[in-house]
Amino acid sequence: MRIPDLANNSLPAEEREDGSFLNWLCSCLNLYAVRLEDALDLFEIFDAERETASQQSMRDLRELAELMQGAGSIPIEIAAPFLQMGEAVGKARRRCEIAARDAVMSVYHFGHVVDAIRTNIDNTCPSLRAAFDIAGMEQAVEEYRAKFPSASVLRNGIGHSAENARDRAAAKYNSVKLRDGNVIEAFWGRLAGSRFLITLAGRADAGQPAPGVLATFDLTRETLADLRTVQSKIYDAFAPAVALTWQLPRPPKEGA
Give the start-to-end residue ranges of the domains of the chain.
10-247
SS3 assignment, position 253? coil
Interatomic CA distance for residues 87 and 71, integer angstroms: 25
pLDDT at 51: 85
Strand intervals (E) in the chain: 175-177, 183-185, 190-192, 195-199, 214-218
Residue 251 has pLDDT above 70, yes or no: no
Interatomic CA distance for residues 94 and 92, integer angstroms: 5
Query: What digits encode the pLDDT tens for the residues 111-144?
Result: 999 999 999 999 999 999 999 999 999 999 999 9
Query: What digits encode the pLDDT tens for the residues 150-189?
Result: 898 888 878 877 776 677 777 777 677 666 666 666 555 6
Query: What digits encode the pLDDT tens for the residues 3-59?
Result: 999 999 999 999 999 999 999 999 999 999 999 999 999 999 999 988 888 777 666
Tell me the pTM. 0.82
Interatomic CA distance for residues 77 and 62, integer angstroms: 18
Query: What digits encode the pLDDT tens for the residues 87-96?
Result: 788 888 889 9
Residue 73: how many CB atoms within 10 A of its CB? 8
197 DSSP 8-state letter: E
